[in-house]
């Protein structure tokens, strides 16, 4: 079988299982990553060549240099597929595909999976419920929004991959002060109504426009709350036959169909407002972060990184593709910043622990059980122990960053 060349782009350390699986399937793997990630534990056994890019700022490369470097690479190598392993790399991969006419998501579609303003406009155009929002380009438009929509609001970066750049605002005076601090970067932000409610995430695999695998989960401590107030990050999988899973699967189907995703892995987030309605928050064309794939695998037996690799391999070789049947367990994930580099895990040992996550200065645990109630109980107990004995809290940055 002819060897295919997969070029993985990542300015963040992730995608080990993806590259390992691609190599196992008989492909040539080339990695383009940041210079400061040279010493990371990449799957070197699976990587045939690696090229490094200097960072202008965290996760930011000079795109002209990337294109020129890629052009040089192509003089003696081929590129059958270009894969973005992190949210920050979606734009880079789309630019490369467009420039060198490599199949896959281009620059128009990529904005629906990277730019939160484009996401919201597209969702609204497709009659999908979203919190009320406005760009902050124009003063009159901002004032009209602030007059019409009751605070609190959130001012958030359009292209930030985490919740850390988001600030909550309670008055128009506070809003103008925050916008003033942004200076020339104000166009990189949007303003949105803050909707209290339960926050969910849906992780899935899409093949030929069809969602072939879905795992719905519920945050017990949403990323925005943890990043702003400190504390313990928790999430857990839902019963796939529950009303919540059913409603989430339907709005998720509308989003991915409306946004034009053809193939790939996705991680999307939704909120159930106090009115009982589900609202779209954001989506991405990559595997979720924060060790969520480890939790999904514990519950379903499906490793999202490897499944994504199998999908890409099948597409390249024009082979039939189908996912394995998922198992029906429940799983939970808890992560928190710790005072020690390697906190003691002994207090958390129990039959439900699948693994402790090896993250320096953090405590991270994956739980698995056939009982939904037991998962919730273990997450609650662990959160109490962590808060009382292990937790370290670092205050958030004052100024939002794009």
Strands in 232-237's sheet, in edge-to-edge order, are 278-284, 264-273, 197-207, 210-221, 232-237, 330-337, 362-369, 353-356
Last residue of a domain, one of 66, 85, 104: 104
303 and 241, same structural domain? yes
Q: What is the pLDDT of residues 103-128, one digit of tens each?
A: 988 887 888 898 999 999 999 999 99
Whether 28 is in a domain gets the answer: yes
Query: Which CATH number covers residue 55?
Result: 3.40.50.20
Q: Which of 232-236, 241-245, 320-324 has the lowest mean pLDDT?
A: 320-324
3-state secondary structure the chain: CCCCEEEEEECCCCCHHHHHHHHHCCCEEEEEEEHHHCCCCCCCCCCCEEEEECCCECCECCHHHHHHHHHHHHCCCCCCEEEECCHHHHHHHHHHHHHHCCCCCCHHHHHHHCCHHHHHHHHHHCCCCCCCEEECCCHHHHHHHHHHCCCCEEEEECCCCCCCCCEEECCHHHHHHHHHHHHHHHHHEEEEECCCEEEEEEEEEEECCEEEEEEEEEEEECHHHHHHHCCEEEEEECCCCCHHHHHHHHHHHHHHHHHCCCCEEEEEEEEEECCCCEEEEEEECCCCCCCHHHHHHHHHCCCHHHHHHHHHHHHHHCCCCCCCCCCCCEEEEEEEEECCCCCCCHHHCCCCEEEECCCCCEEEEEEEECCHHHHHHHHHHHHHHHHHHCECCCCCCCCCCC
> What pLDDT is recorded for position 165?
79
For residues 211-233, b (16+ Cβ closer than 10 Å) or e, as one string? Answer: bebbbbbbbbbbbbebbbeebbb
Residue ending a domain, choose from 193, 209, 225: 193
31, pLDDT greater than 90: yes
Q: Are residues 293 and 379 in the same domain?
A: yes
Query: In sequence order, which residues have a C-beta less than 8 Å from that of residue 203 and are 6 or more positions away?
Result: 214, 215, 217, 265, 266, 267, 268, 287, 288, 292, 293, 296, 304
| 402 domain-assigned | no
- Claim to verify: residue 265 and residue 375 sit in the same structural domain: yes
CATH of the domain at 148: 3.30.1490.20
Which among 107, 1, 88, 102 is positioned nearest to 402, based on CA atoms?
A: 88
Indicate if the pLDDT at residue 400 is higher than 50: no
Confidence of residue 402 (pLDDT cuts 50, 70, 90): very low
The 10s digit of each residue's pLDDT in 179-227 is 999 999 999 999 999 999 999 999 999 999 999 999 999 999 766 555 5
* Average pLDDT along the chain: 93
Q: Which domain holds residue 226?
A: 197-389
Q: What is the pLDDT of residue 221?
A: 73
In a domain, 394, yes or no: no
Q: Kindly state whether residues 25 and 168 are assigned to the same domain.
A: no
Q: Are 86 and 167 part of one and the same domain? A: no
Res 399 pLDDT > 50: no
Residue 154 shares a structural domain with residue 218: no
Give yes or no: residues 185 and 211 share one domain.
no
Question: Looking at the domain assignment, is residue 329 inside a domain?
Answer: yes
pLDDT band at 349 (very low <50, low <70, confident <90, very high): very high
Mean pLDDT, range 354-361, rounded to an integer: 95
- Structural domains in the chain (count): 3
User: For residues 11 and 227, which has the higher predicted lDDT (pLDDT)?
Assistant: 11
pLDDT in tens, 136-177: 999 999 999 999 999 999 999 998 655 457 899 999 999 999
């Amino acid at each position: 079988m002819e060897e295919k060349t997969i070029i993985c782009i990542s300015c963040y350390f992730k995608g080990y299982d993806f590259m390992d699986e691609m190599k196992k399937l008989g492909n040539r793997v080339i990695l383009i990553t940041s210079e400061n990630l040279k010493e990371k534990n990449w799957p070197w056994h699976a990587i045939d060549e690696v090229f490094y890019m200097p960072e202008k700022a965290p996760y930011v490369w000079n795109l002209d240099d990337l294109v020129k470097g890629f052009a040089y690479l192509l003089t003696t190598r081929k590129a059958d597929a270009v894969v973005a392993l992190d949210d920050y790399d979606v734009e880079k991969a789309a630019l490369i595909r467009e420039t060198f006419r490599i199949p896959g998501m281009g620059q128009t579609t990529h904005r629906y999976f990277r730019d939160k303003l484009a996401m919201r406009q597209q969702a609204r155009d497709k009659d999908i419920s979203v919190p009320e929002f406005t760009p902050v380009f124009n003063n009159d438009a901002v004032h009209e929004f602030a007059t019409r929509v009751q605070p609190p609001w959130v001012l958030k970066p359009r292209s930030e991959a985490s919740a850390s750049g988001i600030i909550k605002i309670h008055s128009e005076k506070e809003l103008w002060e925050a916008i003033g601090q942004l200076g020339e970067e104000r166009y990189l932000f949007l303003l949105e109504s803050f909707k209290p409610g339960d926050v969910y995430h849906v992780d899935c695999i899409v093949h030929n426009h069809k969602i072939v695998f879905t795992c719905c989960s519920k945050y017990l401590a949403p990323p925005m709350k943890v990043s702003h107030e400190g504390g313990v990050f928790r999430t857990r999988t839902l019963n796939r036959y529950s009303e919540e899973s059913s409603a989430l699967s339907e709005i998720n189907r509308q989003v991915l169909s409306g946004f034009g995703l053809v193939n790939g892995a996705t991680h999307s987030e939704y909120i159930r407002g106090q009115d009982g309605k589900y609202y779209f928050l954001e989506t991405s064309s990559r595997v979720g972060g924060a060790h969520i794939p480890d939790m999904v695998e514990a519950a379903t037996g499906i490793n999202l990184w490897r499944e994504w690799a199998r999908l890409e391999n099948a597409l390249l070789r024009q082979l039939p593709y189908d996912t394995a049947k998922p198992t029906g367990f429940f799983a939970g994930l808890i992560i928190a910043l710790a005072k020690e580099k390697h906190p003691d895990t002994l207090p958390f040992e129990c039959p439900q622990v699948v693994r402790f996550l090896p993250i320096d200065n953090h405590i991270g645990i994956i739980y698995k059980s056939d009982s939904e109630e037991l998962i919730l109980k273990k997450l609650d107990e662990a959160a109490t122990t962590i808060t009382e004995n292990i937790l370290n809290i670092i205050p958030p940055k004052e100024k939002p960053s794009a």
